[in-house]
Amino acid sequence: MINVARRRAQLLLPGAPAFRVASALLLASVLLLAAGAGFATPGTRGQAHPNIVLIVVDAMRPDHLGCFGYERPTSPNIDGLAAGGIVFETAITQASYTRASFPSLLTSLYPFQHGVTNWESALPETLVTLPEALGASGYHSVAVVHGTVLAKRFGILRGFDEELSMLPGRRGAEKLSAAAIDAIADAPEPFFLMLHLFDAHKPYNAGKEYVTAVRGASKAEPFRWKAKDYIGISETPEPGQIEGEILLYDASIRYADYGIGKVLEHLEASGISDRTLVVITADHGESFWEHGLPMHSTNVYDEVARVPLIFFYPDGFTTPARIWEQVRLIDLFPTFVDIAGGTLPGQCEGASLLGMIEGEGRETRPGMFLPPDMALTECTTPRALAMRCLRTAEYKLLVESVTASAELYDLRGDPAETRNISGSGIALEDSLMKQMGEIPGVPLRGWRIGFTGGHDSVTFECEVELPYGGRITTLELLTGKDSGSLAIGADSTTCAFTCRVGGLDLLLLDTKPATVPIRFSLSDPGKVLKTVLVGSSDSRQSAEAFMVDTESGLGTPGSFDEHRWSGTPGAYVWWLPGQRLARPGPTEALTPEEVERLKSLGYIN
């Protein structure tokens, strides 16, 4: 048995790795050749109830780790684990931001199923969480997490025996890893620890020593955007600014890696490392303008959707390997329950990875929404415009429900997703689109009324009337903030909408019958709105009152995409023929402190 844990070197800040990295990386390259079939050499399942340590580094991309081929020394401790463990080359998250991703990880459900799809969403009490399932097998569970993003009252951490929510600040990894060590120092075995490190999340605050550790020959200077400044950015920063930001990001990963090293050091010093499964992953990745968008909660391209996934379990997995088949974060729940010898609740959409690790193939179960070799990622924050993707090993389909635009990428020939081949006749696109249409919450039908580029001192107003019959069945704010009012008239033939626009506000309006003509009146006291663009032909209408039907309103106005992220004031009306928006689940109002914290992180404006 290869026991890398027993070849541990000293853990120092920030230069020395927890393992002999040169030897480890050489071993990893040999294993790449040895694992060509994609499966690990069969091992042993070890003891029935190993401790489980799950470390989730927020926003950590796999392609910025040494064990995934990155040149900068960002991750010596993680690389050491990877060299002696199981590395999943293609692991996909189910959501593009933390509040929705963690519930998927902890329930083995997609966001449209567990319902946590915005900042006010709460996890339904009817769902079984991972710590509850492990508790049935005798596990003591501890969560050490970011205090705003995963606030306990939203139910996401339900089932943990101990829960410590912290605001990490400048020394995040140091504080959180110490808190995690204290929490498990006297914990009864077996225990389940979930540690959420927030250092690789914007704003990046790694110290100078970590910048020095990863800089190498780069001449880039650290560059800090405040996260809130990303809201409304319409132009890509200068290349030097992006390089400086990436330098800080890499240094922040190095700091998170230091915190991971301290936890590993404790496991070894306590004599429990061999009987402890350590899993390293991320809740999502991070964008650096590869597709014209920043951060992570704005898209589902692979820089956000793909995450690292590494298993290290000396007592159970005897041979390191790399597994190339696509897996998902929802697969962790059934894998942990499988390893613990527990019973899987019927709700789970994920599949245990234990068979793949041991060379027995992928688990399948009847009744899954998607086959286990297909991944769904949802982007549901208000400013994300409801982008979703279905990903196979070869192709990836993205659909944005606001505009109903579709993108298809050949991941084998174009892994950077630079060439949209949607509509080129690939047969798989039709089946993926059909599968996408079965996902509740993809709002592809109804009228869209969009306002862009306003500010809090400008109030946009909209009045709608159905003069030729029919009734209004839906009136919902899809994006933006709750800064106005929505009201449907008593006879359901009229409605009114007001908002103070901060970037983009978008209204969904649906009628029955769907094709009845509508009279719109759009205005504002400041007379910012001179004209309104309607339908894909960009036909100009008066900003006061005009009639439009579904034929003339079909398709997104071309200039909407141009101005949706900018500060340019505009009003747009269009109609889409797809399905309705699913109703949201339970919610909890945000406190003023949470609002300010989410603003500082760039999630809301």
- The residue whose two tokens read 């400013």 is 383
- The residue whose two tokens read 């704005």 is 298
Work out the average pLDDT over 292-298.
77
Residues 24 and 84 in one domain: yes
Is 398 strand, coil or helix?
strand
The band of 560, judged by pLDDT with boundaries at 50, 70 and 90, is confident
Which position has the higher pLDDT, 384 or 525?
A: 525
The band of 29, judged by pLDDT with boundaries at 50, 70 and 90, is very low
Residues 357 and 390 in one domain: no
154 in a structural domain: no
285 in a structural domain: yes
Reply yes or no on whether the pLDDT at 155 is more than 60: yes
Residue 172 backbone class (left: φ over 0; alpha: ψ -120 to 50; beta: rest)? alpha
User: How high is the pLDDT of residue 498?
Assistant: 82
Residues 357 and 478 in one domain: no
Residues 14 and 77 in one domain: yes
How many domains are there within the chain? 3
The band of 471, judged by pLDDT with boundaries at 50, 70 and 90, is very high
User: How high is the pLDDT of residue 599?
Assistant: 67
With a pLDDT cut of 70, the percent of the chain lying above it is: 81
592 in a structural domain: no
Cα torsion through 362, 365, 366, 370, rounded to 10? -60
Separation of first and last alpha carbons in the chain: 53
CATH code where residue 240 lies: 3.40.720.10
The band of 228, judged by pLDDT with boundaries at 50, 70 and 90, is low
Q: Cα angle at 308 between 303 and 309, to 5 degrees?
A: 150
Q: Which long-range contacts (CB under 8 A, 24 or more apart) does 29-38 make?
A: 31/320, 31/321, 31/322, 32/322, 34/321, 35/321, 35/322, 35/323, 35/324, 38/323, 38/324, 38/325
- Residues in CB range of 247: below 8 A, 6 or more apart: 211, 214, 215, 218, 220, 221, 222, 223
CATH code where residue 389 lies: 3.30.1120.10
Pick the closest to residue 264 from 303, 313, 322, 304 (CA basis): 313
Pick the closest to residue 461 from 519, 523, 525 (CA basis): 523
- What letter does residue 95 receive in the DSSP assignment? B
Provide the token pair at 104: 């998927």
Residues 364 and 381 in one domain: no
Residues 330 and 243 in one domain: yes
146 in a structural domain: no
Within 10 A of 324 (CB to CB), how many other CB atoms are there? 17
* CA atoms of 55 and 158, how far apart (whole Å): 18
Provide the token pair at 542: 């008066």
Residues 393 and 272 in one domain: no
CATH code where residue 502 lies: 2.60.40
Residues 359 and 248 in one domain: yes
Look at 124-133, 260-269, 459-468, 596-605 and tell me which has the smallest mean pLDDT.
596-605
Q: Cα angle at 241 between 62 and 480, to 5 degrees?
A: 75
- The residue whose two tokens read 């339904």 is 124
The band of 133, judged by pLDDT with boundaries at 50, 70 and 90, is very high
Residues 233 and 271 in one domain: yes
Residues 31 and 49 in one domain: yes
- Tell me the per-residue pLDDT of 31-41, one tens digit each, with 9 for 90 and over: 333 333 333 33
545 in a structural domain: yes
Model confidence, pTM? 0.81
Residues 298 and 386 in one domain: no
Give the H/E segment covering residue 203: none
User: How high is the pLDDT of residue 47?
Assistant: 61
**Sheet bearing 459-465, strands edge to edge:** 485-488, 494-500, 459-465, 518-523, 546-548
User: How high is the pLDDT of residue 384?
Assistant: 53
178 in a structural domain: no
Which range marks the domain in which residue 528 is found? Answer: 445-577
User: How high is the pLDDT of residue 433?
Assistant: 87
Q: Average pLDDT of the chain?
A: 82
The band of 19, judged by pLDDT with boundaries at 50, 70 and 90, is very low
398 in a structural domain: yes
User: How high is the pLDDT of residue 387?
Assistant: 84
Reply yes or no on whether the pLDDT at 15 is more than 50: no
The band of 230, judged by pLDDT with boundaries at 50, 70 and 90, is low
147 in a structural domain: no
Residues 261 and 390 in one domain: no
